[in-house]
Structure 1
Amino acid sequence: MDLKLNGKRALVTGSTTGLGEAIAKLLAAEGVTVIVHGRDAKRANAVAEAIAIAGGRAQIALGDLATDEGADAVAAQAQEGGAIDILVNNAGYYHHLNWTTALPDKWIDTYQVNVLSAVRMIQRLVPSMRELGWGRVIQIGGGLAGQPIPMQPDYNASLAARHNLAVSLARDLKDSGVTSNIVAPGAILVPAVKELLEKIAPQHGWGETWEEIESGCVRDMVPNDVGRLGRPEEIAAAVAYLASPHADYVSGATIRVDGGTIRSAF
C-alpha cells in the first residue's frame, strides 16, 4: 500500500533508539526525509547512516527539548532543508518512582521532558504547517494516561497531559488541513525493556529462555489479549498511517497499539 508520503519531511523527537528509531526508519522507507533527533551526536548519526544505507534520506538535529534554547536549536536544524510536514513528539522518559519518592522537582523534570518538549516543538513547527495547508502532529502517549498505576505517578500524569494537549490542538487546527492525533503504545519490546525483564526474571520465576520470560511478564505484569509484548515496528506502522493522506479524516483520535491491555470500549 502506497502511503503517499514520498517527499514529505518529518521530525521524530527522541529517535536515536527504541520507538523513535523504529518510527524514523519506517517513515524513511516510505520516502519521507526524516530528521533524527537526540542529544547524542554519535547515536543520531548511527540511525541516520542506517537509514541512508537502506536507501532512505535522513538528517540530524541535536538539542535538549527540555529547554527553550535547545528547542530553538532543534527547530532551526530541522527546517534547514525545508518546512516540516510531520512532527512526531516521541521524546520522553520516566523515573522508577512512587508517591513517596516522586517529589515535586521530579514532577517538574518529567513535565519538562514529556509535556513541555512537545509544546515547544508544536509552537515552533505548526505555524508553517498552517501556512502550507497540510501537516501532521502525532503524540506518542500510552494507556497509563487513562488507567494509571500506583507507581510512576508523575509519568502517568504526563501521559494524560500529552493526550489532552493533542485533542486541544486538534480543535485549534479546525479547517487548517493539519491534524493532531495520539498513538498509545502498550508494553513494547525495546532493548531497555528486554534488559530489565531479563534482569528481574529470576525473582519472578519466569524461566531462562526469552520465550518463557516474555510469557511470564505478560501473564503477571501486562496481561493483554494477544499474549505477548508489542514490537517497535507495530507502533511505527500506526504512526505512518496517521502521518499519511489516508488519515485526512482522522483528528483528535487515539490509536491504541497495546494488544488489548486497556480494557475500555472508548
Structure 2
Amino acid sequence: MDLNLNGRRALVTGSSAGLGEATAKLLAAEGAAVVVHGRDKDRTEKVAQDIRNAGGTATTVLGDLADDEAAAQVARAATADGPIDILVNNAGFYRHLSWAEAAPDEWRDTYNVNVVSGVRMIQHLVPAMRERGWGRVITIGGGLASQPMNTHPQYNATLAARHNLAVSLARDLKGTGVTSNVVSPGAILVEATKDLVTEIGPARGWGNTWEEIQPNAVNALIPNDQERFGDPDEIAGAVAYLCSDYAQYISGATIRVDGGLIRSAF
C-alpha cells in the first residue's frame, strides 16, 4: 500500500531512540522528509544518517521542548526547509516511582515534559497546517492512560492528559483538513521497558535472566492475545497509517496497539 507521503514533511519529537526512532525511519521509508528531534547530538544525527543511508531524506533539530524558548527554536529550525505537515508528539519521560516517592515537584516536571511540551509544538506548528488545509497531529499515548499502574502515578496521569488534549484538538480542528489522533501503545519492548521488567522481575519471582523473566512478565503484567511484548515498528506502522490520505476520516480517535490487552494486573 502506498501511503502517499511523498512531498510531506514530518517532525517526530523524541526520535533519537525507541518508538520515535522507529517512527521517523518508517515515515522516511514511505517518502516523507523527516526532521529527527532529540537532545543528544550524536544519537540524533545517527538516526538521521541511518535514514539517509537507506535512501530517505532527514535533517535534525536539537532542543529541550520543556523550555519555552528552546521549543520555539526547535519549531523554527524544523520549518527552515519548509512547513511541517505531520507532527508526531512522541517525546516524553518517566521515572519508576511509588506514590510516596513522587513528590509534587516530580508531578510538575513530568507534566511539563509529557504534556506541555506537546502543547508547545502544537501551538507553533498547527496554525500553518490549518491555513494550508492539510495536516496530521499524532500523539503517542499509552494504555496506562486508562489502566494506570499503582506505581509512577505522575506518569500515568500525563498519559491521560495526552489522550484528552488530542481529542480536544481534533474538535478544534473541525472542518480544517487537519486531524488529531492518538496511538496508544501497550508494553513495547524498548530499552526502558526491558530495564523496568528486569528490575522488578526477580522480586516478583519471575526469574533472574531475561529469558526467564520475559514470558512471566507478559503473563503477569500484560496478558494479551498475542502473548508477547510489542515491537516499535508496530507502533510506527499505526502512526504512518494515520498520516496517510487513507486516514482522512479518522480524527479524535485512539488506536490501541497493545496485542489485545486483556487487563492491567499491576
Q: Any idea what SS the aligned residue of 2:121 has?
A: helix
Residue identity over aligned pairs, in percent, reads 67
Query: Which deviates the most, 73-82 or 141-150?
Result: 141-150
Aligned partner of 1:58 in structure 2 is 58
Aligned partner of 1:241 in structure 2 is 241
Instruction: Kindly provide the amino acid, as one letter, of the partner of residue 10 in structure 1.
Output: A
Q: Is it true that 1:220 corresponds to 2:220 in the alignment?
A: yes
Residue 143 of structure 1 contacts residue 262 of structure 1 at CA under 8 Å; is this kept in 2? no
Aligned partner of 1:40 in structure 2 is 40
Aligned partner of 1:68 in structure 2 is 68
Aligned partner of 2:187 in structure 1 is 187
Aligned partner of 1:12 in structure 2 is 12
- Per-residue displacement from partner, 1:120-154 (whole Å, max 9, x unpaired)? 00000001101110000000001111121211111
Paired with 1:209 and 1:22, the residues of 2 have a C-alpha distance of: 27
Structure 2 regions of 5+ residues with no counterpart?
none
Q: Is it true that 1:136 corresponds to 2:143 in the alignment?
A: no
1:62-101 equivalences under 5 Å are 62-101=62-101
Paired with 2:58 and 2:16, the residues of 1 have a C-alpha distance of: 12
When residues 106 and 235 of structure 1 are mapped into structure 2, their CA distance, relative to the original with a 3 A threshold, is: same
Structure 1 regions of 5+ residues with no counterpart?
none
When residues 55 and 63 of structure 1 are mapped into structure 2, their CA distance, relative to the original with a 3 A threshold, is: same
Matched residue count = 264
Query: Which deviates the most, 49-58 or 198-207?
Result: 198-207
Instruction: Kindly provide the amino acid, as one letter, of the partner of residue 53 in structure 1.
Output: N
Paired with 1:57 and 1:207, the residues of 2 have a C-alpha distance of: 44
Paired with 1:226 and 1:212, the residues of 2 have a C-alpha distance of: 18
- Per-residue displacement from partner, 1:217-245 (whole Å, max 9, x unpaired)? 10122222210000000000000000111
When residues 254 and 115 of structure 1 are mapped into structure 2, their CA distance, relative to the original with a 3 A threshold, is: same
- Per-residue displacement from partner, 1:148-204 (whole Å, max 9, x unpaired)? 121111111101110000000000000000000000001000123224434544444
Aligned partner of 2:173 in structure 1 is 173
Query: Structure 1-normalised TM-score?
Result: 0.95
Instruction: Kindly provide the amino acid, as one letter, of the partner of residue 213 in structure 1.
Output: I
Instruction: Kindly provide the amino acid, as one letter, of the partner of residue 28 in structure 2.
Output: A
Query: Structure 2-normalised TM-score?
Result: 0.95
Aligned partner of 1:23 in structure 2 is 23
Query: Which deviates the most, 202-211 or 23-32?
Result: 202-211
Paired with 1:212 and 1:29, the residues of 2 have a C-alpha distance of: 36
When residues 110 and 199 of structure 1 are mapped into structure 2, their CA distance, relative to the original with a 3 A threshold, is: closer
When residues 63 and 262 of structure 1 are mapped into structure 2, their CA distance, relative to the original with a 3 A threshold, is: farther
- Per-residue displacement from partner, 1:18-70 (whole Å, max 9, x unpaired)? 00000000000001111000111111000000010111110001100001011
Paired with 1:201 and 1:248, the residues of 2 have a C-alpha distance of: 43
Aligned partner of 2:250 in structure 1 is 250
Paired with 1:67 and 1:209, the residues of 2 have a C-alpha distance of: 40
Instruction: Kindly provide the amino acid, as one letter, of the partner of residue 186 in structure 2.
Output: G
Paired with 1:200 and 1:26, the residues of 2 have a C-alpha distance of: 32
Instruction: Kindly provide the amino acid, as one letter, of the partner of residue 147 in structure 1.
Output: Q
Q: Any idea what SS the aligned residue of 2:222 has?
A: coil
Q: Any idea what SS the aligned residue of 2:58 has?
A: strand
Paired with 2:153 and 2:205, the residues of 1 have a C-alpha distance of: 28
Paired with 1:207 and 1:109, the residues of 2 have a C-alpha distance of: 34
